[in-house]
Amino acid sequence: MRQKIVAGNWKMNGSLADNEALLKEVVAGTEGLSGVVCCSPYPYLFQLQGLLEGTHVAWGAQNLSQYEKGAYTGEVSASMLKDFGCSYVIIGHSERRTIFGETSMTVAEKFKAAQEAGLIPILCVGETLAEREAGITEAVVGEQIDAVIGYSGVEALNSAVIAYEPVWAIGTGKTATPEQAQDVHRHLRERIALMDSDVAGKVPILYGGSVKAANAAELFGMPDIDGGLIGGASLVSRDFCDICRAMG
């Protein structure tokens, strides 16, 4: 049995007051579940540590520096995230790749930096609409995953999570059908299995892109979908809790 996970990616949203209300409701509304994660902007990690320590809800960040420390103005290191109790960190989100120019090589370096500090990377991969229409989805996600495997080795996926997020489904209200998502998840697992079938069988692969309470159960019911990475709906406690419960 693979670990099921539902992780909220708050993106650049939140305030001290809103976060406190949201987190208290998430803790109460997901009682008894494991695999619930909230990923906040950096400044709020101290608040998450205060409110979530000792509960069943884990927390993490949405990015980190590939560098350990030093003259990197504005950056945040993996060890700093550990100081604030993070277990997870999202790596290579499509917004980082497209808006902030992160290449697959940078993503591979960040993935390694996260693991070296004892954080569990949530590695995001996904194709744009143009790439899907050109029939190159598998090549695109393959290149994204191969960059990390090439740099850290396939065994590194033993302590990592993958998130398949088709770019055309993020924040658009346009969800991949369960079958479309399952096809890519299966491809990813088969690709990893060519290198190491044990690792392929164990690594959780989450789906992200317009997951809502109404479609979560159907998506999470697919054989290779092990939960979700949730954007907009993770900011609404009732929706997020419903999605977490859909892990079953």
Footprint of ligand 13P on this chain (CB under 6 A)? 9, 93, 165, 170-171, 208-211, 229-233
Shortest distance, position 24 Cβ to ligand 13P, whole Å:
22
Shortest distance, position 90 Cβ to ligand 13P, whole Å:
7
127 annotated active-site: no
Which of 143, 165, 179, 187 is labelled catalytic?
Answer: 165
187 annotated active-site: no
Nearer to ligand 13P, 64 or 154 (CB): 64
Residue with tokens 């945040």: 76
Shortest Cβ contact with ligand 13P: which residue?
A: 231
Nearer to ligand 13P, 44 or 199 (CB): 44
Nearer to ligand 13P, 66 or 210 (CB): 210
Shortest distance, position 9 Cβ to ligand 13P, whole Å:
4
- Give the residue numbers marked as catalytic: 93, 165
